[in-house]
Amino acid sequence: MTDTVFIEGLTVETVIGDYDWERDVQQRLEIDLEMKWNNRMPGLSDDVGDALDYAAVSDAVRRWFAEHQPRLLEKAAEAIAAMIQNEFEVEWLRLTLRKPGAVPGARNVGVRIERGI
């Protein structure tokens, strides 16, 4: 089964970073998520209760950043992946976290992780 539900370019403003000055400012992150889900059932029922609700996942990601102020992108990625797997019963996901503008001369820097089977 290779169905997925995805979210592309979800932006959050949050405190994140390892340098002292970063602890006092809000910075923008961009999040992409690809999550394994069997879309056959909602495809037949037309019921969002059978679907992986991308709006609910997006809200949960925003909530996580409202409640945490990690230093590293890796810390945020790991925790958010675990939260989505637990709260939404997602078996496998790929998560990309981008921090645009963090490195002069680079359009984007970030991390990408895959968790689950």
Ligand X SMILES: Nc1nc2c(c(=O)[nH]1)N=C([C@H](O)[C@@H](O)CO)CN2
Question: Which positions are catalytic?
Answer: 99
Measured CA to CA, the distance from residue 46 to residue 69 in angstroms comes to 38
Q: Which residue has the tokens 């340098």?
A: 19
Considering the complex, state which of residue 49 and residue 105 has its C-beta at the smaller distance from ligand X.
Answer: 105
Considering the complex, state which of residue 25 and residue 48 has its C-beta at the smaller distance from ligand X.
Answer: 25
Q: How far is the CB of 101 from ligand X (least distance, A)?
A: 8
Of 52, 55, 61, residue with least CA distance to 90:
52
Q: State the residues that interact with ligand X by CB under 6 A.
A: 17-19, 22, 72-74, 99, 102
C-alpha torsion sign, points 22, 26, 32, 34: positive
Q: How far is the CB of 106 from ligand X (least distance, A)?
A: 10
